Amino acid sequence: MELMVKDLVVGYRDGVVIDGFNAVFSEGRTVVLGPNGSGKTTLLRAIAGVLKPLRGSITLDGKPLGKGDVGYVSHASGLDPNMSVRENLEFYAEVKGVEDFRDVVDKLGIDDLLNIKVGKLSNGQRRLVEIAVAMLGKPRIYLLDEPTDGLDVFFARRVREIVKSLGGIVIYTSHVPSEVFEVADSILVLKSGRMVFYGDIAEVGGAVKVVARRERETLIIETNIDEVPRTIEDLRHRGYEVLEVRSTAIEDLLGEDHD
């Protein structure tokens, strides 16, 4: 399965944001990193079909994307706060032509939220419902726009676990470099609407600093980039909370303007 984005140009009323973007995404998880305003959201909106490109093409195995190919989670919730979780899921299930949403509800463990109005959910619970909407109909491509943004540590970790369990092509934007090491198979760095790097994490190279804490004890470990997932897992296993994962190479790619 191959998602090909060719010569993509996308813009709004006030100008072009993505200019001449080319990439081929295969099965697996790609994290798109970039500073605010780099075009991450616009890129996802174009692939999802929310925005029509000014130029270029987006194809899945050589064919234009069709209804049901994409599961999309954006900054915009898409959920009506006055309707219950069940009513929102029923609506999107009908829109997507899916008969039953039970399996998605079971998979995400949100059964207890079904009768609660969306307006009464926490940010984390709401994000789980948004992911459930994206998962309806088992799409072949998942587009997730900063899905952990604004979530506490618990829900952010839960969302990352869900993302890791998704099949197909997963494109996940973030402005937090450390997320790359927990989610990604490959990394794509965007700057001012242009791709400055796209490849496996190992290709980034360089040393990575992992900062972790257990009670009052803070640990800083320096390791190779391809050892990071194993290091994080090991630290968590030993009861540490991973506070930060810093890669100088990735920060260099993102540039000085990245916060």
Which residues would be at the binding site for other proteins (CB under 8 A)?
12-13, 45, 48-52, 65-72, 74-83, 87, 90-92, 94-96, 133, 143
52 alpha carbon, distance to own chain's centre: 21
Residue closer to other proteins (CB basis): 50 or 219: 50
Q: What angle do CA 143, 118, 165 make, to 5 degrees?
A: 35
Mention every residue, 6+ apart, whose C-beta is less than 8 A from residue 114: 84, 85, 86, 89, 105
- Report, in Å, the least distance between residue 143 CB and other proteins: 7
Bridge partners of 2?
Answer: 26
Q: Decide whether 91 or 198 has the Cβ nearer to other proteins.
A: 91
The nearest distance, CB 72 to other proteins, in angstroms, is 3
Minimum CB distance to other proteins smaller for 38 or for 41? 41
CB of 81 to other proteins, least distance (A): 7
- All residues at 6 or more sequence positions from 98 whose CB lies less than 8 Å from its CB, including other chains: 136, 137
- Shortest distance in whole angstroms from residue 185 CB to other proteins: 23
Residue 105: CA atoms inside 13 Å, Cβ hemisphere, count?
16
Q: Which is nearer to other proteins, 65 or 249 (CB)?
A: 65
How many Å apart are CA 83 and CA 63, to the nearest integer? 36
Q: How far is the CB of 49 from other proteins (least distance, A)?
A: 6
CA dist 188 and 164 (Å) reads 17
Q: How far apart are CA 29 and CA 32, in angstroms?
A: 10
Whichever of 71 and 177 has its CB closer to other proteins, that residue is 71
